[in-house]
Amino acid sequence: MNEKSAAAPADPREVTEAVLWLSGIEFGALTIYQLGTVYAPHTSLTTFGLGYGGLFLLLVAIVLPNWTMRYRTNAEYLAPGSQRNSRRAAGWCWFVPLAWFWWPRRVVRDIWRASAPQGTSAGLVELWWFARLGGIALLVAGDKSHPAALVLAALALRAVSLGAFVRFARQLLCWQSEALVIAPAPEFGAPSVQRG
């Protein structure tokens, strides 16, 4: 039996909660750092933002591939043959240099298509991905003569990206939970149901 057909559905609730919380905290800490570099360079606030932002970025880098692999496994179960990448590749796609600019988007679009009702637009996935890349591009290649405007524009794009990610991750959770007959997910931030 090959890897695609062998995997049983995986409960995505806990990993979804974790990736959403970690992404939000990472955004906040890196926002403190980025604003600090413009308005209060060389202060403890900037150091705090960089340190905690880096820590939570590392945690997101650990949890996000797991999130992607679980949803990919469920998408393959719901729509056999719909996934162009293996479960393992869905996790590693975040770490392959240069391919990380397009490969994760492709994996997530496949997951979306397999999980969404027929004809549902993948606009949230596209908004998340291109706002994310736009924010990165502004910080890396932007006009350094106006650092405050550059940082604020990049932060606005990152905020849009985070908002779109939260919306589509919650939507995927609802669709897959319903299709796999998993009990409804608790409200964001509510305690998870204990298993016996």
What average pLDDT is seen over the chain?
A: 86
pLDDT at 150 over 70: yes
Q: What is the mean pLDDT of residues 12-29?
A: 91
Instruction: Provide the 3-class DSSP secondary structure of residue 62.
Output: helix
pLDDT greater at residue 123 or residue 185: 123
Helix (H) or strand (E) holding 22: helix 13-39
pLDDT greater at residue 122 or residue 195: 122
Q: What is the mean pLDDT of residues 101-109?
A: 95
- Residue carrying the six token digits 């996790």: 91
Q: Crossing angle, helix 13-39 and helix 44-78, to 10 degrees?
A: 150
Among residues 154, 162, 177, 133, the alpha carbon closest in space to that of 15 is found at 177
Q: What is the mean pLDDT of residues 80-102?
A: 93
Contacts of residue 72, defined as CB under 8 A and 6 or more positions apart, other chains included, come to 83, 85, 87, 90, 107, 110, 111
Of the candidate ranges 4-13, 69-78, 145-154, the one whose mean pLDDT is the lowest? 4-13
pLDDT at 196 over 60: no
